[in-house]
Amino acid sequence: MCPDHRSTVIPPRARGAAGSAVAVAHPNIALIKYWGKRDEQLVLPWTDSLSMTLDIFPTTTRVRLAPGASDDTVTLDGAPARGEALRRVTAFLAVVRARAGLRQRAVVDSENTVPTGAGLASSASGFAALALAAAAAYGLDLDATALSRLARRGSGSASRSVFGGFALWHAGTSEDADRGSYAERVPAEGVDPALVVAILDAGRKDVSSREAMRRTVDTSPLYRSWAASSRADLLDMRAALSRGDLDAVGEIAERNAFGMHATMLAARPAVRYLSPATFTVLDSVLRLRREGTAAYATMDAGPNVKVLCRRADAERVAAVVREAAAGAPVHVAGPGPGARLMGEDR
């Protein structure tokens, strides 16, 4: 279905402080959501999550060591990074430098093909690509598990984009903390899925997912019960994937996403990412189902809707969603590959 995850392990010839590396990673969409950290510093979640990596919207990131420079230089989509975006990248590079035992600063150049900060998983592809390129440039010798743990420090969902296809991110336990919280690939041979992605609003969200998670965990009376039901959803989801039951996969994903948004709506003050346009598309998904087409919706930290369906139905589902989306862009994605290094800088 997709290249296997061994391609994410840094090859021997890229090891030993290559000095420069380029990596590509794709976004992933969670079918069982990650929502809420038990440790903000280490990015440890309260619950396990499970996602599908997409074959669209890759991020390409180049990291080059800059001997003698006093600061990191970060360019995102052709413009110098500032503020919070710059702070997150430099904090992540500090983690890589500490592991490598090196002090040299770096020049980072990253190109997203998906709108940034709109609940379309740009941080997942972004930090997975940065983790791989930075690890190779600084000469870290990482297997896929260690790379996933490292990517997690940039953005929790990035731990899953290290892998292609379906990936499960283990929350880990309080005893094993950092070591026990990583993603791994989950087999799902019998499902042939597509995700129809409706970009209803590509603008930056008002409340970051980091802030929204914190507020939900701290103030929402529904959070604990969602976390408990999400643990049960994960078990059901794994069983549905292993028997290749796309309808069950979709039903579980949809209820898990609605539950996550319910916890946010009950936060104080409420976090509301879904818009009227979201509900118009949700109505079209219901209509498809009533007419006998398997189609199930999931939404993240933004109003955009992703519709899970059979690959064979994808174009028909996309046509219905496109009509409901009233001119907004609609893309069809399949399962995509894990993060990989590009040949040119090796």
Residue of 49, 59, 110, 216 interacting with ligand PMV (CB under 6 A)? 49
Q: Taking the CB of residue 289, how many other CB atoms lie within 10 A of it?
A: 18
Cα dihedral: 40, 43, 46, 48 (round 10): 170
Q: Is 161 exposed, middle or buried (0-12, 13-18, 19+ CB in 10 A)?
A: buried
Q: Which stretch binds ligand PMV (CB under 6 A): 26-34, 185-193, 224-232, 338-346?
A: 26-34
User: How far, in Å, CA of 20 to CA of 93, rounded?
Assistant: 14
Asked if 181 interacts with ligand PMV (CB under 6 A), we say no
Per-residue binding string, ligand PMV, 298-327, x by CB under 6 A, is: --xx--------------------------
Q: Does 47 bind ligand PMV (CB under 6 A)?
A: no
Could you tell me whether strands 59-66 and 105-112 are parallel, antiparallel, or unpaired per DSSP bridges?
antiparallel
Min dist CB 170 to ligand PMV, Å, is: 13
- Would you say 144 and 6 are in contact if contact means Cβ atoms under 8 Å apart? yes
Q: Where are the alpha helices (DSSP H) in 155-275?
A: 158-161, 177-180, 209-219, 223-242, 246-265
Cα–Cα dist 133/151, whole Å? 11
Tell me the window of 8-16, 33-41, 76-84, 187-195 that interacts with ligand PMV (CB under 6 A): 33-41
Beta bridge partners of 50: 32, 168
Helix-then-strand count for the chain, H and E: 10, 16
Dist. CA 242–CA 85, nearest whole Å = 38
Interaction mask 140-179, ligand PMV, x per CB under 6 A: ---------------xxx----------------------
Q: Closest approach of Cβ 344 to ligand PMV, in Å? A: 29
Q: Is 34 in the site for ligand PMV (CB under 6 A)?
A: yes
Q: 124 vs 321, which CB is nearer to ligand PMV?
A: 124
- Selected from 8, 110, 161, 209, the binder of ligand PMV by CB under 6 A is 209
Q: Is 125 in the site for ligand PMV (CB under 6 A)?
A: no
**Kind and range of the H or E run holding 38:** strand 37-39
In this chain, which of 5, 26, 33, 261 binds ligand PMV, going by CB under 6 A? 33
DSSP 82: -
Q: Does 30 bind ligand PMV (CB under 6 A)?
A: yes
Burial class for 290, CB neighbours closer than 10 Å (0-12, 13-18, 19+) = exposed
Phi, psi (rounded to 5 degrees) for 116: -85, 135
Quick one: 126 or 337, whose CB is closer to ligand PMV? Answer: 126
Q: How far is the CB of 12 from ligand PMV (least distance, A)?
A: 31
Question: Least Å distance between CB 119 and ligand PMV?
Answer: 7
Q: Which of residues 248-307 bind ligand PMV (CB under 6 A)?
A: 300-301
Residues that bind ligand PMV (CB under 6 A): 30, 33-35, 49, 123-124, 155-157, 209-210, 300-301
